Amino acid sequence: MAAALPARPRRAPTGRPPLPGSGDQPGLAAAASRAEAERTVGQDFYDVLHYDLDLTLNPAARILTGQVATTARVVGSSLSSLDLDLKSTMAVTAANAGGVATTWSRAGDVLTVNLDRTYVPGETVTVSVAYQGNPAGSYFGWSSVGGQTMIWTLSEPYGSRHWWPCKDLNTDKADSVGVRVTVPDGLIVASNGLLASETDNGATRTFQWRTRYPIVPYLVSLAIHPYTRFSHWYTPLAGGDPMEVQYFVYPSHYEAVQTNYAKTVPMITAFAQAFGEYPFVQEKYGHAEFTWGGGMEHQTITSLGGYGEDLISHELAHQWWGDMITCADFHHIWLNEGFATWCEAYWKERTAGVGTYRAYMAAAAYMGPGTVYVEDTSDFWAIFDGNLSYNKGSWVVHMLRGVLGDADFFAGLAAYREQYAYGSATTEQFRDVMEQVSGRDLDAFFQQWVYGEYYPFYYYDWETTAHGDGLELNLAVVQEQAGVGLFAMPLPVRVTTAAGVVDTVVWNDAVAQSYRIAVPGAVTGVVLDPDGWILCEKAAVPLAGTAAPELPAAAPVLACAPNPFNPETEAVVSTTAAGRVDLAVHDAAGRLIEVLCAGDLPAGEHRFRWRGRDDAGRAVASGTYFLRLRTPSGAVLRPVALVR
């Protein structure tokens, strides 16, 4: 998703996208909160294979009448009922299971359909639900453009249930989806995959779209208007039949979109060369205009509220990073949005050179508080924070490229694609792949940049001394930033001398460090991180002969072992100064599970055991939990996996 973010540079206190549709912020935040609460145990015991949507839309009455069939395979445990997500405002009129009419019940936004019998693991069942209602709101829009009907959907993060019954989770992609839509004659329906048929019924017209690629519910899309249609063609990297790139535009915008839409095919080629073939090359790519002020990366058919080049490149990049591989949940949304924002800059590099790439990244730098990891996924604003999920997320990608170098970085992306294509992934899974490819331990990198806050501030000074028959640069670097711990990073150094330029990289991970660098001539200048590979601030200041600056205590250290664990794990906290220590366990939704420490402790090493229980002593379920450590000198967030 790309929003109408503030104009670059993006270092305003808020860089958050506008809410889609009605702008109902409290309603959308509440919907997200409810969605978190409504995941049921039963949904863990089936795997969706196929959805078939058959919808009739009456824009005059603003009524959607539909029937959705869900085909699923039972896994893990026998099932006698199937839980689906559907807003309580949509009325269910009938249901059947296995071809037999059946009963259903509702609890909030969960629809439970009773099956015709008990199904055991390995069996498949098809459940069909007939329903109707007005889904209007933040995720489904009845609107108009130029006096003509405009109907659109935008279901991220939890909006699919607002207009069709589904298992509304990122971790369960349907293998295929059919979308059949009947609308008043004169309207054109754009949706996912290939158009299988278009039928003139007289007063109405029916469009049948089908996709045979795995797809997450929030990427299923409708965009409906009396569009003007035209196409370009993309030739796959390996040759063969070209793929159609379809455009659904407002008739009044036909001329205006031509210049930037013509860049779409070159963008597909550039991204395919960098990340592997376009992931849905057997179907299509396309743009459909809609009335929201941004864009949404609906699989194979992006919805666009504008036609700027950056917006087009951002949404196209999502076809790889967000659609082909989707964040496993919205704690890890940076894997979608940070990647796509970085791809905006990468497209600039491909077309205008590396200097333009660097300038684009510099304009996206965010230096404020907050973590890239989204702690509260019930908060729409937290998920789609333009500063963190988008801008700083793009810097995580950019810095990882700088740390690894292009060879390992792009090889890592290829391996990430190979392992998780058409599925979902977490930050830890992405990190593991990049570690395997590069042979490097990247735990500290991800801890400080994804789970930590802020950035390093480098003060530095230098002098030259004679060394044998030549000269040596003595470089002193002091890292100082209030309220956060030290950052461990490879630090590029550029030394300009009378005999030429020396580029080198030093490892920086302490409050104060000094380095000796052989130089070929008299030094005329020294610059840290000259090409902007680190999100940091820096200043050349005289350090020698002055009182040592007042520096923060070294960052606390938090280690957990064993991890994964059962039945208990030990957390080891190391601090260099006495003071307040707060250590607590939270679940993946950010809810407090148990407080392990809340008080003053002396400097040193302290050990705490967590036995997989909450504050009331009740055993908690298997899953990923987070140990949060806070001290005056910094904070650490450490994931642990309980496997019962």
Strands 285-289 and 302-304: parallel
Mean pLDDT of the chain: 91
Are the CB atoms for 108 and 85 separated by under 8 Å?
no
Of residues 567, 569, 571, 561, the one with CA closest to residue 607: 571
d(CA 587, CA 639): 10
Say if residue 165 is preceded by a cis peptide, omega within 30 of 0. no
Assess whether the region 457-540 and the region 557-642 belong to the same CATH fold.
yes
List pLDDT tens digits, range 523-571: 999 999 999 999 999 988 876 443 334 444 566 778 888 988 899 999 9
Structure tokens at 393: 């997320």
How large is the C-alpha radius of gyration of the chain?
27
Q: Is the peptide bond before 6 cis (omega within 30 degrees of 0)?
A: no
Average pLDDT rounded to a whole number, residues 330-347: 99
DSSP-based three-state secondary structure for 420: helix
DSSP 266-280: HHHHHHHHHHSS-TT
The pLDDT, as a whole number, for residue 41 is: 86
Query: Could you state, in order of their start, the residue ranges of all structural domains in the chain?
Result: 2-330, 331-449, 457-540, 557-642
User: How far is residue 632's CA from residue 644's CA, in Å, rounded to a whole number?
Assistant: 35
**567-602 b/e with 16+ CB inside 10 Å = b?**
eebebebebbeeeebebbbbebebeebbebbeeebe
Superfamily name with CATH number, domain 331-449: Neutral Protease Domain 2 (1.10.390.10)
pLDDT of amino acid 270 = 99
Lowest mean pLDDT among 30-39, 68-77, 279-288: 30-39
Are 330 and 250 in contact, with CB atoms under 8 Å apart?
Answer: no
Residue-wise pLDDT tens digits, 219-258: 999 999 999 999 999 999 999 999 999 999 999 999 999 9
Which residue from 12, 8, 28 is spatially nearest to 311, judged by alpha carbons?
8
Confidence of residue 374 (pLDDT cuts 50, 70, 90): very high
For the segment(s) 2-330, the CATH number from 1.10.10.1590, 3.40.50.1700, 2.60.40.1730, 2.30.42.10 is 2.60.40.1730
Q: Which CATH number does 457-540 carry?
A: 2.60.40.1840
Token pair in block for residue 595? 């407080």
Euclidean distance between CA atoms 254 and 227, whole angstroms: 10
pLDDT at 253: 98
Average confidence (pLDDT) over 111-120: 98
* pLDDT tens, residue by residue, 267-318: 999 999 999 999 999 999 999 999 998 999 999 999 999 999 999 999 999 9
pLDDT at 139 (0 to 100): 95
Which tens digits make up the pLDDT trace of 596-637?
Answer: 999 999 999 999 999 999 988 999 988 878 788 888 877 676
Secondary structure, 3-state, 196-217: EEEEECCCEEEEEEEECCCECH
Quote the tokens at residue 386: 């333009």
| CA distance linking residue 300 with residue 116, whole number of Å | 36
User: What's the mean pLDDT in 206-226?
Assistant: 99
Residue type, 467: H
Q: What pLDDT sits at residue 554?
A: 60
- Tell me how crowded residue 553 is: count the other CB atoms within 10 A of its CB: 18
For 557-642, give the CATH class: mainly beta
Classify the C-alpha dihedral 376-381-383-387 as positive or negative: negative
Q: How confident is the model at residue 8 (pLDDT cuts 50, 70, 90)?
A: very low
